[in-house]
């Protein structure tokens, strides 16, 4: 039923709960797993200097890559493989565009999210994605 499953990874417990659900589905349907983390570069303060911004973005990318690595390790322990993708931009838009551009059949997301840099209030990204995509979504608490 689902050939390509995307899991939104942000380092939160909710995201790892979503990953567990996606692993179960991937095993059931013999699906490909895609792990996607988005570095929110869209909301960087306008006064961040050119010399300062690259270091900030690099730190955010490092944290996101660490989250993706942890998620890949969990997938590997379950006996599966996954394609990890780090994207830059507005998370809501990236999590709508990437699935459409890559033939994703199901988006699996946590209900709430947390990263080292931002706290996502209940449903802000998840709600946006659910309202702006025609792809099935599984929201996990």
Domain range annotation of the chain: 4-140
DSSP summary character for residue 10: -
> CA-based angle 43:90:85, to the nearest 5?
125
Phi/psi of residue 74, nearest 5 degrees: -65, -45
pLDDT-derived band at 22, boundaries 50, 70, 90:
very high
Can you name the CATH fold of 4-140? Answer: Rossmann fold (3.40.50)
Q: How many angstroms separate the Cα of 50 from the Cα of each of 44, 53, 54, 55, 60?
A: 11, 5, 7, 9, 16
What are 90-131's pLDDT values in tens digits?
999 999 999 999 999 999 999 876 544 444 433 689 989 999
What are 59-69's pLDDT values in tens digits?
999 999 999 99
Mean pLDDT to the nearest integer, 68-86: 99
């Amino acid at each position: 039923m689902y050939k390509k499953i995307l899991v939104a990874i942000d380092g939160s417990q909710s995201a790892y709960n979503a990953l567990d659900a996606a692993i179960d589905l991937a095993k059931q349907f013999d699906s490909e797993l895609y792990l996607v983390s988005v570095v929110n570069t869209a909301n960087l303060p306008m006064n961040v200097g050119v010399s300062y911004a690259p270091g900030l973005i690099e730190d955010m990318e490092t944290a996101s890559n660490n989250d993706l690595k942890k998620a890949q390790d969990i997938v590997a322990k379950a006996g599966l493989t996954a394609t990890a993708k780090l994207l830059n931009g507005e998370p809501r838009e990236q999590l709508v565009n990437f699935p459409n551009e890559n033939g994703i059949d199901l988006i699996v997301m946590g209900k709430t999210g947390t990263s080292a840099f931002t706290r996502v209030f209940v449903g802000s990204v998840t709600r946006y994605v659910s309202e702006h995509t025609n792809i099935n979504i599984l929201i996990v608490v």
